[in-house]
Amino acid sequence: MTELGRDAREAAPRRRGLGMGLSALLGSTADAVPGAGGEERPRTVPVEFLRPCPLQPRRQFAAAELEALADSIRHRGVIQPLLVRRTPSGNFYEIVAGERRWRAAQIAGVHDLPVIVHELSDRDALEVALLENVQRQDLSPLEEAEGYRHLIDDYRHTQEELASALGKSRSHIANLLRLLGLPAAVRALLEQGALSAGHARALLGARDPLALAQAVVSRGLNVRQTEALVRADAERAPRRQAAADAKDPNVVALEQDLSRTLGLTVCLTPKGAGGTLQIAYGSLEQLDALINRLR
């Protein structure tokens, strides 16, 4: 049974600032969460009345993890209620914390879920979603970095405030934010799990992060080996620059144009009336995509 029509019986809760912790909002299934002039208690809502929140920093949900959680829900049910807020229309609820439970419940065939409703602003919703995921280590490095960037750029939080609220070091947050400066193709490898956050941090100072990332993936290098590769590449850079300076500018421009088009590192080496064309790929998937394009 839904309770979408009981607005008059609910009081708006106080705003909780960043760092108050999830317990201040979620409480437990037994304890009420105090609001201004009333109490918020868990209620039951059909899954079809719940929607993912567009501010949710987490974008990927591993199928194996969802299956494991669904199996737990089949045996024990959903123990912790989801934290939700009403959509502007008032007809649905947006999930601020608990989207993974909502997805797993549907796999488990559960039709109704316990929720706690709070009237949260976009800022509050983002803060709580980020807190929940970071505390539970559910985010990928890039998802976590995007959440931090959003809070800093759009809501004027400082790195120091985030570090204090989340129990992280300022350097941890700063290093994650730096990952957002990597080329899109390198960030894709990180998102896919082909590179770890340690690999990505090592590539930050590289002259050509994409070329080295492809080498790391194809050769299966660990983080320490990646750091050594970046150092060796930096030592070779003056020699490469001298060779590049001697190369025809038209050839260099063509290399850069082909690299941008293919998303791969391209090298042209003229020899007499001909020459060689080298295209570096970092995985079999990239090779397959290149072959398909050439066909």
- Three-class secondary structure of residue 45 per DSSP: strand
Q: Distance (Å, rounded) from C-alpha 22 to C-alpha 170?
A: 21
Active site residue 99: yes
Contacts 24+ apart (CB under 8 A), 222-227: 223/196, 223/198, 223/199, 226/198, 226/199, 226/202, 227/202
Q: Which of 99, 127, 144, 255 is catalytic?
A: 99
CA angle 272, 239, 244 (to 5 degrees): 45
Across the chain, the runs of DSSP E, i.e. the strands, are 33-35, 38-40, 43-46, 50-52, 82-86, 93-97, 112-117, 265-271, 274-280
Tell which phi-psi region holds residue 167, choosing left (phi > 0), alpha (psi between -120 and 50) or beta: left
Strand locations in 17-125, DSSP E? Answer: 33-35, 38-40, 43-46, 50-52, 82-86, 93-97, 112-117
Tokens of 14: 């106080």
DSSP-based three-state secondary structure for 235: helix
Location of structure tokens 């260099």: 252
Containing 254, the helix (H) or strand (E) segment is: helix 249-262
Beta-carbon contacts of residue 231 (< 8 Å; ≥ 6 apart):
none
Q: Which sequence positions are flagged as catalytic?
A: 99
